[in-house]
Copies of this chain bind each other. A is one copy, B any other.
């Protein structure tokens, strides 16, 4: 039987990712090492001849490197309206590099990757992951592109921790730092909330101590974790405006006992449903724990650490309604940057969307970023 030649596969997903091989071995901050590890990244704009217009962008806990569309991948990115020509992060001026965090599952090496030594996924045999490792992996990525010094090191949320770990570990590696809704150390309240999310996953029998089949993740646990995550990423004021006590849409009703009855529950359900198929449970556990553990103080007192980093300028943005990375932590960070001799601007924003405001209130965040980034110190 002669098979027909298959038609070109139009379902081939668009992909703008490139990969940086990390040094082998890649030593992990809390011990152990990775072999043959890589980082997935995307870029926008052009690196100039002096190689001094690079902006390295780290992400929050779960996004991929795909911050914005590009010819190679025209799908919308997680910061679509922020990264592009003439936007808050102007790709006419900057060579923007966004990395998928080490330990994540969108092309970078993490617990879901295959360990070359065994031919099987790492799962819980992946070494302890630290925010410092995510920073170092980003550092090696830009080094592989021939960039010695970044113009700007930027990150929101987890990324806001990563940029501090980067500055602490690689003095002189960046001229400017932008921390968005980040923190030098998680509060006990944030730790509590994240640890409950992890326990939702590890308490799901389907998690099976990390040994779930790839196509049968611990859905119940992941769904719960994401729902709680979503609550902590937003604010009561936003949801009052947005949902109030509206009943759930008829098509989202289920017959279960104690099924959702309110629109806000339908929203959580939709968020969670997307997440369960998109993110690996073990990767989530590793990165979430790394966020709890991160503490800039282990590198020395904050002022000394930040002075040693040789930053010229810094922008710290925080949001008044943020439950998870409260504004007081950003205020303290801005103060200590200033004390460390870094010309620092602090932008406390009145957005009502909580921790996620940087993803939503593009106008306000874009204005702050554009203003800061367009100001030269030379």
Complex: A221 Cα to B185 Cα, angstroms: 29
Contact across chains for B189 and A257 when beta carbons are under 8 A apart: no
Majority-rule SS of A interface residues: helix
**Quick one: closest B residue to A288, CB to CB?**
B258
Complex: A87 Cα to B88 Cα, angstroms: 60
Complex: A220 Cα to B228 Cα, angstroms: 16
Fill in one digit per residue for A33-57: 1 if any B CB lies within 8 Å of its CB, else 0: 0000000000000000000000000
Contact across chains for B295 and A188 when beta carbons are under 8 A apart: no
Contact across chains for B236 and A224 when beta carbons are under 8 A apart: no
Contact across chains for B326 and A236 when beta carbons are under 8 A apart: yes
Q: Does chain B have a CB within 8 A of A160?
A: no
Q: Does chain B have a CB within 8 A of A323?
A: yes
Contact across chains for A224 and B203 when beta carbons are under 8 A apart: yes
Contact across chains for A188 and B224 when beta carbons are under 8 A apart: no
Contact across chains for B245 and A195 when beta carbons are under 8 A apart: no
Contact across chains for A265 and B189 when beta carbons are under 8 A apart: no
Contact across chains for A195 and B265 when beta carbons are under 8 A apart: yes
Q: How close is A159's CB to chain B, nearest CB, in angstroms?
A: 21
User: Contact partner of A192 among B187, B221, B239, B289, CB < 8 A?
Assistant: B239
Chain B residues whose CB sits within 8 angstroms of the CB of A244 once the complex forms: 188
Chain B residues whose CB sits within 8 angstroms of the CB of A190 once the complex forms: 236
Query: Which positions 251-266 of chain A face chain B at CB distance < 8 Å?
Result: 256-258, 260-265
Contact across chains for B202 and A262 when beta carbons are under 8 A apart: no
Complex: A101 Cα to B44 Cα, angstroms: 61
Q: Does chain B have a CB within 8 A of A199?
A: yes
